[in-house]
Amino acid sequence: MIEVKDLVKSFEGREVLKGISMIFEEGKTNLIIGRSGSGKTVLLKNLIGLMRPTKGSILYDNRDLTKLSSYQMKALRQEMGMIFQGSALFDAMTVFENVYFPLDMFSSLSKSEKIKRATSCLDRVNLSDAGHLYPSEISGGMMKRAAIARAISLNPKYLFCDEPNSGLDPQTSLVIDELISDITKEYKITTIINTHDMNSVMNIGDKIFFIQEGNLEWEGTNKQILTTKNEALNDFVFASDLFKKVKAIEMDEINNK
């Protein structure tokens, strides 16, 4: 579990995060949504320790990230898996080598155990046959799966995903979403996803946090979004006619139960 308490981040006196408190639970996919410029990336950077909060605390299972020594921070980083927008695979390494790399850098396993672990991670994302290929030889969806395999190689307790579906078609996005959601539940990971993808919100959002101008405007489940009276959230989520229709259909189903 990660608990954010009264988090403030300012740049030259301008508050971008204005005292946010939130709890990200273990085994759940926690989705952060909000308009461009609302503060999602700044929040994510504070969570993973790439930026220092101006005020507030971030508790990783009771360890306050803002108070850790650099040695303790290094240890905590090894409990974090990360999936970036562009997959961020190393071009000069094969898919297998990309997954093996963090194990080689940070784990104390024997060589044969590391090979076994990398192989099982590739297997978990259905890439067993692609280990010998280079990133330039595989599709965007396969790259994302390789990035997921790499992110879980060290058995993370916390998984951070920044726009995991960017650049993917809707069908492949669904596969990636479900993979992240399944892995979250299987390994009881606390997963945090920054997304603009409303399909993800509806499909895998165990918990949604809506950020508006640096404040936490709303939080709830994906089912609760359908019935929310929060105007700002309604405007944001149901901006498109398609989602207005989805909402109408789901509401019909709820009312007819």
Shortest CB 162 distance to ligand ATP, Å = 9
Nearer of residues 96 and 209 to ligand ATP, judged by Cβ: 209
Indicate the residue among 88 and 93 with the shorter CB distance to ligand ATP.
88
Burial readout 200-231 (b: 16 or more C-beta within 10 A, e: otherwise): bbbebbbbbbbbbebbbbbbbebeebbebebe
C-beta of 39: minimal distance to ligand ATP in Å?
Answer: 4
> Shortest distance, CB of residue 167 to ligand ATP, whole angstroms?
14
Q: How far is CA 41 from CA 26, 102, 109, 164, 216, in A?
A: 21, 24, 34, 13, 14
Closest separation in Å from C-beta 45 to ligand ATP: 8
What the block records as the tokens of 181 is 């959601």
* Sign of the alpha-carbon torsion through 155, 160, 165, 171: positive
What span, in angstroms and rounded, lies between the C-alpha atoms of 158 and 144?
18
Closer of 11 and 90 to ligand ATP (Cβ): 11
Q: Please, which residue, 153 or 191, has the CB nearer to ligand ATP? A: 191
Please, which residues bridge with residue 215 across strands?
A: 212
- Cβ atoms 91, 134 nearer than 8 A: yes
Q: Specify the 3-state DSSP secondary structure of 207.
A: strand
Please say which residue, 2 or 127, places its beta carbon nearer to ligand ATP: 2
User: What's the min distance (Å) between Cβ of 214 and ligand ATP?
Assistant: 7
**Site residues (vs ligand ATP, CB under 6 A):** 11, 16, 34, 36-42
